[in-house]
Amino acid sequence: MGINDAKLNERIAELENELKTTKYNKRTQRAVGLLKAKIANLREEKHKKASTKLAFDSFAVRKTGDATAVLVGFPSAGKSTLLNRLTGAKSAVAAYAFTTLDVIPGVLQYKKTSIQILDVPGLIEGASEGKGRGREVIAAASSADLIIVLVDALHPEQVNVMKKELYNARIRMNLRKPEVKIAKKPSGGINLTGTFTNMTKDMAVALLRELKISNADVIIRDDLSPEELIDAVEGNRKYVPGIIAVNKSDLLDAAAKERINDMIHPDIFISAEHDACVDEMKELIFTRLGFVRVYCKEAGKEADMNEPMVLRKGATIKEVCEKLHREFVKRFRFARIWGKSVKFGGQKVLKLEHKVADEDIVEVHVS
């Protein structure tokens, strides 16, 4: 680590300590917001310094299938066992830490979709700073469509460390991207409109100035926290769905499960070793990925119900056309649809912006 990196880390630590010791109230909220913005600026500088190294430190795995999920957890959380249960992949399994030394891919075939699942080396404290194989693990998580955080039932506190490492690496799990429109201008200061209950308007303006925005028209469409406004201005966060799964649940009694549930609010309790709730885990993965399976048909013929076109929630007829043929968007006339996205079977749809629903049957007509 070079001297510049050391100084950056030292300055970040100083500001974080100041943030921890500052009591939050109406009088100090502006100062707290500015501290958060300064920390964000320094972290951004660190990320830029590390970006070249990160490019060389990524795992060489070709993405396949309809989506990719990454198993993230401390060493010995049971990721390899879960991968084997979900996909039949042969990932090394042992009852000690650091068994997985490289990325192990597997494929989960479920409800006519193909989901690539990656078992990566254990995520440890300091991973976002490059500790262990942290850079590779973070890179894999950043490029995933779903993050599965696997927690050892005997160490539920580990989830907070993993959440922090992902957060510090710009990954926003299970959060919605803030709606903020920023139009920079040469002069005139900051013209800010929006709803402000999580911070004052003055605090928002101060944050924007700290983030080097001095002249701009800013529209905030959500009621944001200071952290969310910082994320929106930086604009390089990865918003990705996630699952928190407690593994080795066979070691817990009902009281322990309830205590962990109150502590970390997991999505599911499983035991990969004993194949407990693994089927429920598959369904949860499928649901969180928000798949929309569309069955295509030609006029006068039956739809092929064996091979769906797999899209994601919010997909439109335009995306269906793009997948069928690159010229179909230009040549589109209308589509006939049978399914949940229309009022009656065979309804004629004229707009490319029409959103399709899961298991719709679509017949595209082009010129």
pLDDT at 89: 67
pLDDT at 127: 63
Q: Per the domain annotation, does 349 fall within a domain?
A: yes
pLDDT at 36: 83
Which of residues 234, 268, 302 is at a domain's end?
Answer: 234
Q: Which residues pair with 167 in a beta bridge?
A: none
Domain extent for 186? 3-56+178-234
- Are 301 and 183 in the same domain? no
Strand pairing report for 67-73 and 146-152: parallel
pLDDT at 219: 94
Which of residues 212, 234, 256 is at a domain's end?
Answer: 234
Looking up residue 353, the CATH number of its domain turns out to be 3.10.20.30
Report which DSSP code applies to 221: -
Q: Per the domain annotation, does 83 fall within a domain?
A: yes
- Are 141 and 247 in the same domain? yes
Q: Per the domain annotation, does 10 fall within a domain?
A: yes
Angle at 103 between CA 100 and CA 104, to 5 degrees: 85
- Give per-10-residue mean pLDDT for the chain (367 aa): 66 82 76 81 71 49 86 90 86 47 84 93 70 74 93 95 90 93 94 89 89 93 89 91 97 96 97 96 97 95 93 97 94 97 97 97 96
- Are 260 and 140 in the same domain? yes
Q: Per the domain annotation, does 71 fall within a domain?
A: yes
Give the count of beta carbons closer than 10 Å to the beta carbon of residue 363: 20
- Distance between CA 130 and CA 54 in Å, rounded? 9
pLDDT at 72: 93
- Are 98 and 138 in the same domain? yes
Looking up residue 171, the CATH number of its domain turns out to be 3.40.50.300
pLDDT at 262: 96
- Are 34 and 106 in the same domain? no
- Are 269 and 324 in the same domain? no
Angle at 214 between CA 208 and CA 218, to 5 degrees: 60
- Are 256 and 146 in the same domain? yes
Total tally of structural domains belonging to the chain = 3
Report which DSSP code applies to 271: B
- Are 141 and 86 in the same domain? yes
- Are 98 and 162 in the same domain? yes
- Are 104 and 182 in the same domain? no
pLDDT at 99: 46
- Are 162 and 257 in the same domain? yes
Report residue 235 as tokens.
């604009």
pLDDT at 55: 45
Q: Per the domain annotation, does 62 fall within a domain?
A: no
- For the entire predicted model, the pTM comes to 0.83
- Are 78 and 155 in the same domain? yes
Smallest CA-to-CA distance from 338 within 297, 286, 310, 282 is with 297
